[in-house]
Structure formats: C-alpha cells, structure tokens
A = this chain, B = another copy of it.
Amino acid sequence: MSGRVKEYLQAHNVHPSMQRIVIMNYLLNNRTHPTVDMIYNDISKSMPTLSRTTVYNTLKVLVNNNAVLQLDIDEKEAHYDGYTHVHAHFRCLNCGKIIDLSPKYLDKLITNEIDDLLITETQLYYKGYCSDCKDLGKIPNINNK
C-alpha cells in the first residue's frame, strides 16, 4: 500500500524517505485540501518526532516536482492537494471548506448558484514565464529550487 506511494515519489524524482512517504500518503488519502498545520497535527499523532519544518520542506519538494498541488485560494495559509490534474476549486467564505468542482465547470465562468453553491467571486490565475524571461534560461530546474 505504501509501496504504491514510494513508487509515486520515485516517479516524480523524490527520494522516498519515511516522512515523505507518510506525508504523500496522507495527501493521497485525505482529499480535504489540508494546510501544513492540519497535516502536521494529524501525522504527528502517530509519528511524534515529526517536525513542522519537515512538513514544510517535504511539501516544497513535492510541489516543485509536481507530485502535489499548492492552492493559494486562502489568503491566510497554503492548502495542498495530492490530486495534481488541473481542476477548479471552491472555498466557502464562511466555513472555510475547500472542495473540488466537477470538471464540467472547468471551461466556463460560473456566476450565481451551481450545485447548491452560491458563487460570489471567481479568480483565474495563470503562471509561467513572460516573453522577457522565458528565453533567458531563467526557468529553474526541477529538484529543489
């Protein structure tokens, strides 16, 4: 079972340490878009030596290697998603819950209510390299960063 996770990490050029396997496994099995603190609190119950720094370090490595998605939908703190395919997210401004939106909404702007959600705000962000930067070898290598 965690053999699968180990392979997943290796496929993404991430050296599969104990901590990395546990954190990646957590993300694959908890599709709740957790924060660093949620991950840390949950995992340290069964792995009391784990440090917050390691959670930060690990998530950075995983994100840089496209094994995990970092969500900036919450201005306070980052959330993480083990499902890396492009998909839309919804965050409730009252309870904070973040959910995936069905792919059928991916290519359209949504206004008002859908699927029993009241949408009040839409943000569409693209990231990459602009014309000035993209040619100049300024694109970083993968591992670490």
Residues of chain A having any CB pair with chain B under 8 Å: 70-75, 78, 86-95, 97, 99, 101, 106-110, 116-134, 138-139
Chain B residues within an 8 Å CB radius of A90: 125-128, 130
Bound CA span A70–B120, Å: 14
Chain B residues within an 8 Å CB radius of A99: 130
Bound CA span A130–B108, Å: 19
Within 8 Å by CB of A94, from B86, B92, B110, B138, lies: B138
The answer to whether A118 and B123 touch (CB under 8 A), given A78-B75, A109-B107, is: no
Chain B residues within an 8 Å CB radius of A126: 88-91, 101, 110, 117, 119, 121-123
